[in-house]
Amino acid sequence: MSVLSGKKILLGISGGIAAYKTASLVRLFIKAGAHVQVIMTPASKDFVTPLTLSTLSKNPVHSTFFNEEDEDAQWNNHVELGLWADLMVIAPATANTLSKMVNGNCDNLLIATYLSAKCPVYFAPAMDLDMYKHPSTIASFHALKQFGNTIIPAESGELASGLSGEGRMAEPENIIVFLENDLESKLPLKGKKILITAGPTYEAIDPVRFIGNYSSGKMGFDIAESASKLGATVILISGPTHLNCSNSSINLLRVTSAQEMYDACLAHFSEVDVAICAAAVADYKPKTIASQKIKKSETEFIIELEKTKDILASLGKIKEKQFLIGFALETENEIENAKLKIQKKNLDLIVLNSLQDKGAGFGNPTNKITFIDKDFIIEPMSLKPKEQVANDIMDKVISHYEISFNK
């Protein structure tokens, strides 16, 4: 899956012949899974039509602050457009537009939006070779880099003037590759490997019956998706659940029983930097499993249980460099029980759920957690969608490594 998937991209198009390439660029953004809005300078519409770009982006194309022909037209809010975007790409960026970006010459919607943008900005220059090498253009490049903008270098080849040299806007395919490589290199968990457990375990009674719990696995799957988007290599070990990963880069290993999950965790733990045990693993399993379906013949039926292996405690005993995070679902004495779990299982952080909190626990799209670290610093969080809770957990992982790097 492309790192551009799910990104909100604002494409700014200025008036150069290379604007014709933006139809392909928009198509490639959409193919990568991005959401695209387009802003055109009035001059750029001489080279490519708004209808083409609106059809490909599936969004209206913006060009002016308001439609002068419509008395009831709403103002195109450049501030909202700038805040909407996860990244802004100005392609082609002509010498005129580059100069306006540098000097804040805000005479069109594109420049107004650029000046309002809070996101990373990339620009792909396009002009004839002498213009590209002119001192004023080079000065614009330097100034924009100092502003924190990123240049997508122009390519060499035949130019519209008939000359050949440097100044061609990068081909759409190369712009996509450049953006993907640059974004991936800046992901905070790039190079880290994370093991995550999710879902319930089913402990067999006979071939058709089992002991299980109500865990849907959603919390663990959301953590895996969040970790992957932040650049981590993810191994997700899941008990029985109907969920699937939308990110194909996640290595999903499906297991059924606590023993199978234990074996999978122990097999991969030595190779990971972080382990997050979000699965609701059964504490007990039947001591014996009937080989045939048990018939309903007795008024009472007794199943003898034995403890399963404690995955989290086992990982805590053998951990070396790993940052180990556990989950605790409690119904009483929540904080004290969670603190005891941190000590007994050698955890770095615990994510506490209380069934006393409305909207938390199994089967809900939301969760309300409290973080407790190994120094017993307590940080309660508000009720949030599980996707946001997953992001909060990954923020803790990022903070851990930022602190480690700074030591």
Specify whether 365 is located in the same domain as 229.
Answer: yes
Specify whether 256 is located in the same domain as 120.
Answer: no
Inside any domain, residue 27: yes
Specify whether 171 is located in the same domain as 199.
Answer: no
Inside any domain, residue 3: no
**For residue 75, is pLDDT > 90?**
no
Residue 77: per-residue pLDDT:
74
HEC per residue, the chain: CCCCCCCEEEEEECCCHHHHHHHHHHHHHHHCCCEEEEEECHHHHHCCCHHHHHHHHCCCEECCCCCCCCCCCCCCCHHHHHHHCCEEEEEEECHHHHHHHHHCCCCCHHHHHHHHCCCCEEEEECCCHHHHHCHHHHHHHHHHHHCCCEECCCEEEECCCCCEEEEECCCHHHHHHHHHHHHHHCCCCCCCEEEEEECECCEEEECCEEECCCCCCHHHHHHHHHHHHCCCEEEEEECCCCCCCCCCCCEEEECCCHHHHHHHHHHHHHHCCEEEECCECCCEEECCCCCCCCCCCCCCCCCCEEECCCHHHHHHHHCCCCEEEEEEEECCCHHHHHHHHHHHHCCCEEEEEECCCCCCCCCCCEECEEEEECCCCEEECCCEEHHHHHHHHHHHHHHHHHHHHHC
Specify whether 244 is located in the same domain as 106.
Answer: no
pLDDT digits (tens, 9 = 90+) for 236-249: 999 999 999 988 88
pTM exceeds 0.85, yes or no:
no
Last residue of a domain, which of 155, 185, 215?
Answer: 185
Last residue of a domain, which of 156, 185, 214?
Answer: 185
More confident residue, 162 or 175: 175
Domain count, the chain: 2
Inside any domain, residue 1: no
Specify whether 61 is located in the same domain as 158.
Answer: yes
Specify whether 220 is located in the same domain as 279.
Answer: yes
Residue 407: per-residue pLDDT:
52
Specify whether 331 is located in the same domain as 361.
Answer: yes
pLDDT digits (tens, 9 = 90+) for 151-170: 999 999 888 888 888 999 99
Percent over 70 (pLDDT), the chain: 94
**For residue 10, is pLDDT > 60?**
yes
**For residue 15, is pLDDT > 90?**
yes
Specify whether 108 is located in the same domain as 174.
Answer: yes
Which CATH number fits the domain that encloses residue 140? 3.40.50.1950
Specify whether 67 is located in the same domain as 150.
Answer: yes
Residue 359: per-residue pLDDT:
66
What mean pLDDT do residues 85-100 have? 97
Specify whether 23 is located in the same domain as 137.
Answer: yes
User: What positions carry a catalytic annotation?
Assistant: 213
Domain of 320 in residue numbering reads as 193-406
Inside any domain, residue 306: yes
Last residue of a domain, which of 142, 164, 185?
Answer: 185
Inside any domain, residue 2: no
Inside any domain, residue 84: yes
What mean pLDDT do residues 364-391 have? 93
pLDDT digits (tens, 9 = 90+) for 382-401: 999 999 999 999 999 999 99
Inside any domain, residue 69: yes
Specify whether 136 is located in the same domain as 66.
Answer: yes
Inside any domain, residue 371: yes
Residue 67: per-residue pLDDT:
61
Which CATH number fits the domain that encloses residue 296? 3.40.50.10300
Q: How confident is the model at residue 293 (pLDDT cuts 50, 70, 90)?
A: very high
Specify whether 272 is located in the same domain as 383.
Answer: yes
pLDDT digits (tens, 9 = 90+) for 221-278: 999 999 999 999 999 999 999 999 988 889 999 999 999 999 999 999 999 999 999 9
Mean pLDDT of the chain: 92
Residue 76: per-residue pLDDT:
63
